[in-house]
Amino acid sequence: MRIAVVLAAILAIACSRKDEPSAAKSAPAAPPASVGSASAAPWPASPTRSGVPAVSFVPDAILSQVGASHTILAVDFTKVVESGQLTKLVPHKLRCIRELIGSAGILVVGLGDSMTAIVTKLPERATVKCLERLGFGEAERRDGGHLFLRPDIQLSAVWTGDTAVITKLGDKPGTGTLAASVRREIELISPSAASWMISDEQEDLKLVKLWVEVSESSVNLFGSFEGKKPGAAKRALRDIRERMKKAVVDWGLPPLEDSWFRTSSTETTAAVELRLALPEP
Q: Per-residue pLDDT for 213 more than 80?
A: yes
- For residue 248, the tally of other CB atoms under 10 A from its CB is 20
Q: Per-residue pLDDT for 41 more than 50?
A: no
Q: Per-residue pLDDT for 226 more than 90?
A: yes
Across residues 82-99, what is the average pLDDT? 70
* DSSP 8-state assignment for residue 248: H
Q: Per-residue pLDDT for 19 more than 70?
A: no
* Separation CA 8–CA 211 (nearest Å): 10
* Separation CA 152–CA 131 (nearest Å): 14
* DSSP 8-state assignment for residue 94: G
**DSSP-based three-state secondary structure for 148:** strand
Q: Per-residue pLDDT for 110 more than 60?
A: yes
* 108 — pLDDT class (breaks 50, 70, 90): very high
**DSSP-based three-state secondary structure for 30:** coil
Domain count along the chain: 1
Which of residues 106 and 38 earns the better pLDDT score? 106
* Separation CA 107–CA 196 (nearest Å): 11
- The boundaries of the domain holding residue 233 are 2-277
Measured over the CA atoms of residue 188, residue 191, residue 192 and residue 198, the dihedral's sign is positive
| Average pLDDT over the chain, rounded to an integer | 74
Across residues 103-119, what is the average pLDDT? 89
Q: Per-residue pLDDT for 151 more than 50?
A: yes
* DSSP 8-state assignment for residue 13: -
Which of residues 24 and 69 earns the better pLDDT score? 69
Q: Per-residue pLDDT for 173 more than 60?
A: yes
Say what the pLDDT of residue 53 is. 40
Q: Per-residue pLDDT for 74 more than 70?
A: yes
Say what the pLDDT of residue 44 is. 38
User: What pTM was estimated for this model as a whole?
Assistant: 0.75
Instruction: Return the axis-axis angle of helices 95-103 and 124-133, rounded to nearest 10°.
Output: 160
Angle among Cα 16, 21, 25 to the nearest 5 degrees reads 95
8 Å CB contact between 140 and 148: no
**What percent of the chain has a predicted confidence (pLDDT) above 90?**
21
- Of 84-88, 149-153, 189-193, minimum mean pLDDT range: 84-88
Say what the pLDDT of residue 86 is. 59
Across residues 233-238, what is the average pLDDT? 92
Alpha carbon distances (Å) from 67 to 61, 253, 273, 277:
11, 36, 30, 37
For the stretch 245-276, pLDDT in tens is 888 787 667 788 888 899 999 999 999 998 88
Say what the pLDDT of residue 231 is. 94
**Phi and psi dihedrals of 70, rounded to 5?**
-95, -15
Contacts of 124 (CB under 8 A, 6+ apart): 159, 162, 164
Cα 233 to the chain's mean position, in Å? 20
DSSP lists the bridge partners of residue 214 as 219
* Separation CA 112–CA 168 (nearest Å): 12
* Separation CA 275–CA 220 (nearest Å): 4
